[in-house]
A and B are shown apart, each in its own frame.
Chain A
Amino acid sequence: MHGDSSKPNHTARAEGPGSIGPGSIGVVTPREYTFGAPGEGILLENGAEFGPITVRYELYGRLNADRSNAILVTHAFSGDSHAAGYHAPTDQHAGWWDSMIGPGKAFDTNHYCVICSNVLGGCQGTTGPGSVNPETGKPYGLSFPVITIDDMVKVQRALIDHLGIEQLHAVAGGSMGGMQALEWAVRYPERTRSVIIMAATSRLSAQAIAFNAVGRNAIISDEFWNGGDYYDGPAPARGLAIARMVGHITYLSEQAMGMKFGRRLQERASFGFDFEDQFQVESYLEHQGGKFVDRFDANSYIYLSKAMDYYDLGARFNGLEHAVAGCRSKFLVVSFSSDWLYPPYQSKEIVFAMMRQNIDVSYVELESPYGHDSFFLEIERQTPLVASFLEGLHE
């Protein structure tokens, strides 16, 4: 994959007439930016220099003349740069936050230019362990450097520089995307007018790390994993699928699973008392796992989940209060009552640290049954919140 280092086309957006629906941004084309030739790479948190890096990103809406209306949306663990719209008129699936980004939506593309890029270490167009190492001509595999949330943000900053944007109107993200948004505010206070952090944390709990560890173990136990060097053979698909199944359990709540599946069987009306009986929830997990292996790289799973495990903003600054002391942005922090993976108390830790530093921060705890995944689902309630927050910035 080759990046174009030509001038970006800032008016890139819906190319079709929006046949997909009036609220949709329409058809979008992913773009790429490559930077960091030897000696000009980014300095990673582990101390090493790394480059070249290709970033895949998408733009929705138009940048205004002074480039002051840009909103960077940062994606979650398994997300990608395709946050909204469709890649082709016949495309069945919209971007991962299409319900939030578009004309008249929470991130209103009539007013804002929304940017979403795939993270460093990912596998959806941005350089990651599955990318070819130009020095060897082979995929990096485990020779890819261990990267952190901080490193992802540095790469995003390079993209924002490239786009000629001095200050982002907002950085917004959920889950791992929320960690990146928080990191933006800490690392680049002058460049983030506002920050929206949803279903996120400044550090994972031991429990959350434990689930990530099970996922990684499933992958490295796969017979095809081969120490991460599997790119010219079969992929460790079974291990990755199991990792995804574990992940999905943590993204839902007991109540959400109960509502969605109950104890219903997938194909039979009653138990046959053989191992052919499959509950709907099993079928769902199988389906999610199977679907995931078609689009995700097992090594990226390892690198990105480890990046989340490592993230501990407070520890890096000798306390969360010190970490946020230099923040200049206005914040909106949103948590969800049933999110047991990134529970509300972790969001409140961030909020109280900010409040003690007299930082402009608002906190909302939405009562929702959907668990960690709520930020993909509570669109009707998130929309007025996000829209009014962005609106309130103009006061």
Chain B
Amino acid sequence: MSNADMSSNIPTRQHFSYEELLSLIEPGSTVLDLGCGSGELLDRLIHERNVRGRGVDIEETMIRTCIGRGLSVFQGDLDEGLKDYLTNSYDYVILNHTLQVVHRPDLLLQEMLRVGRFGIVNFPNFAHVVNRLQLAVGGRMPVNRRIPYEWYDTPNIHFCTRKDFRVLCREMGYEIIRIIDTSNGKRRLPILPNLLSTEVCFLLRGTS
């Protein structure tokens, strides 16, 4: 089973506020939503932002739900990449809470910013203070409300921190247009963000 498979299935999956994601997207644009799950975000983008959108997910039940909503979806494995998608064929490529479950986040990011003019990536910030304490004081891998898995059965194979991701973007030459920090679903000011943000969202632009 592929890991991207499980992402849409996480029962306690924390949805980064859809309002925040919606606010990043220009009305009337085109969107590719990777790991689209049941298609809730895509559905809202289409109805509220008038986008033309398509979703990708690996889970049959999710795909079925999307189809029932009238969405265009593709059942596929993100680890196989986006090679069949044309360069610059979408305005935005979204990776919603899925970065940490793919085998090569860097390669997927590269593909996202080839296919899309902008990339939107959100992920749980592993450097959050609760995780740090569980590891530093408890000496155990963090397991909590936001990361409800034991180390041996987690779909999250590539956790990173807010700071890690910024470094990666810099190394790959992507422009960070915006970062939205949230704590338990609510937007927060970027004060000690790498310590206090539970979930972060990056709006990126490629450099081609």
* Residues in chain A within 8 A of chain B (CB atoms): 332, 348, 351-352, 355-356, 358, 360-367, 381, 384-385, 388-389, 391-395
- A contact residues around B78 at 8 Å (CB): none
Q: Is the CB of A362 within 8 A of B68?
A: no
Task: Provide the bound-state CA to CA distance between A361 and B56, in Å.
Answer: 12
Contacts A355-B54, A356-B89, A392-B71; is A362 near B66 (CB within 8 Å)?
yes
- A contact residues around B75 at 8 Å (CB): 363-365
- B contact residues around A361 at 8 Å (CB): 72
Binary CB contact string for chain B from 85 to 116 against chain A (1 if under 8 A, 0 otherwise): 11001000000000000000000000000000
Closest to A359 in B: B72
Contacts A385-B64, A385-B67, A388-B64; is A362 near B84 (CB within 8 Å)?
no
User: Which chain B residues numbered 114 to 168 have a C-beta less than 8 Å away from chain A?
Assistant: none
- Verify if B60 is at the interface (C-beta below 8 Å from A): yes
Contacts A348-B84, A355-B54; is A366 near B70 (CB within 8 Å)?
no
8 of the cross-chain contacts (CB-CB < 8 Å) are A355-B74, A364-B63, A385-B64, A388-B68, A392-B70, A392-B71, A395-B69, A395-B70
Closest to B56 in A: A363
- Measured CB to CB, the closest approach of chain B to A237, in angstroms, equals 43
Q: Is the CB of B86 within 8 A of A356?
A: yes
- Verify if B73 is at the interface (C-beta below 8 Å from A): yes
Q: Is the CB of A363 within 8 A of B74?
A: yes
Closest to B63 in A: A364
Which of B69, B74, B76, B89 touches A392 (beta carbons < 8 Å)? B69
- B contact residues around A395 at 8 Å (CB): 69-70
Binary CB contact string for chain B from 29 to 43 against chain A (1 if under 8 A, 0 otherwise): 000000000000000
- Measured CB to CB, the closest approach of chain B to A26, in angstroms, equals 29
Interface centre among B52, B67, B84 (most CB of A within 10 A): B67
- Measured CB to CB, the closest approach of chain A to B75, in angstroms, equals 5
Q: Is the CB of A362 within 8 A of B74?
A: yes
- Measured CB to CB, the closest approach of chain A to B42, in angstroms, equals 12
Closest to A353 in B: B84
- A contact residues around B86 at 8 Å (CB): 356
**CB < 8 Å A-B pair total:** 53
Q: Is the CB of B64 within 8 A of A360?
A: no
Task: Provide the bound-state CA to CA distance between A361 and B74, in Å.
Answer: 8
Q: Is the CB of B71 within 8 A of A362?
A: yes
- B contact residues around A362 at 8 Å (CB): 63, 66-67, 71-74
Which of B67, B70, B74 touches A351 (beta carbons < 8 Å)? B74
- A contact residues around B74 at 8 Å (CB): 351, 355, 362-363
Task: Provide the bound-state CA to CA distance between A363 and B84, in Å.
Answer: 14
Task: Provide the bound-state CA to CA distance between A381 and B84, in Å.
Answer: 27
- B contact residues around A365 at 8 Å (CB): 75-76
Task: Provide the bound-state CA to CA distance between A393 and B68, in Å.
Answer: 8
Task: Provide the bound-state CA to CA distance between A352 and B72, in Å.
Answer: 12
Q: Is the CB of A389 within 8 A of B67?
A: yes
Which of A332, A366, A381 touches B67 (beta carbons < 8 Å)? A332
- A contact residues around B60 at 8 Å (CB): 364, 366-367, 381
- B contact residues around A352 at 8 Å (CB): 84
Which of B52, B63, B67 touches A358 (beta carbons < 8 Å)? B52
Task: Provide the bound-state CA to CA distance between A367 and B71, in Å.
Answer: 21
- B contact residues around A381 at 8 Å (CB): 60
- A contact residues around B89 at 8 Å (CB): 356
Task: Provide the bound-state CA to CA distance between A365 and B2, in Å.
Answer: 15
- B contact residues around A351 at 8 Å (CB): 74
- A contact residues around B63 at 8 Å (CB): 362, 364
User: Which chain B residues numbered 162 to 176 have a C-beta less than 8 Å away from chain A?
Assistant: none
Closest to B86 in A: A356
Contacts A356-B89, A358-B52, A364-B63; is A392 near B73 (CB within 8 Å)?
no
Task: Provide the bound-state CA to CA distance between A170 and B45, in Å.
Answer: 27
Closest to A394 in B: B70
Contacts A356-B89, A366-B60; is A392 near B84 (CB within 8 Å)?
no
- B contact residues around A391 at 8 Å (CB): 68
- Measured CB to CB, the closest approach of chain B to A85, in angstroms, equals 27
- Measured CB to CB, the closest approach of chain B to A107, in angstroms, equals 15
Binary CB contact string for chain B from 50 to 67 against chain A (1 if under 8 A, 0 otherwise): 001010000010011111
Task: Provide the bound-state CA to CA distance between A362 and B63, in Å.
Answer: 9
- A contact residues around B67 at 8 Å (CB): 332, 362, 364, 385, 388-389, 392
Which of B54, B64, B66, B85 touches A384 (beta carbons < 8 Å)? B64
Task: Provide the bound-state CA to CA distance between A85 and B70, in Å.
Answer: 30
- A contact residues around B52 at 8 Å (CB): 358
- Measured CB to CB, the closest approach of chain A to B98, in angstroms, equals 19
Task: Provide the bound-state CA to CA distance between A363 and B64, in Å.
Answer: 10
- B contact residues around A389 at 8 Å (CB): 67-68
5 more A-B residue pairs beyond the given contacts A381-B60, A388-B64, A388-B67, with a C-beta to C-beta distance below 8 A: A332-B67, A355-B74, A362-B71, A393-B70, A395-B70
- Measured CB to CB, the closest approach of chain A to B180, in angstroms, equals 29
Task: Provide the bound-state CA to CA distance between A366 and B61, in Å.
Answer: 11
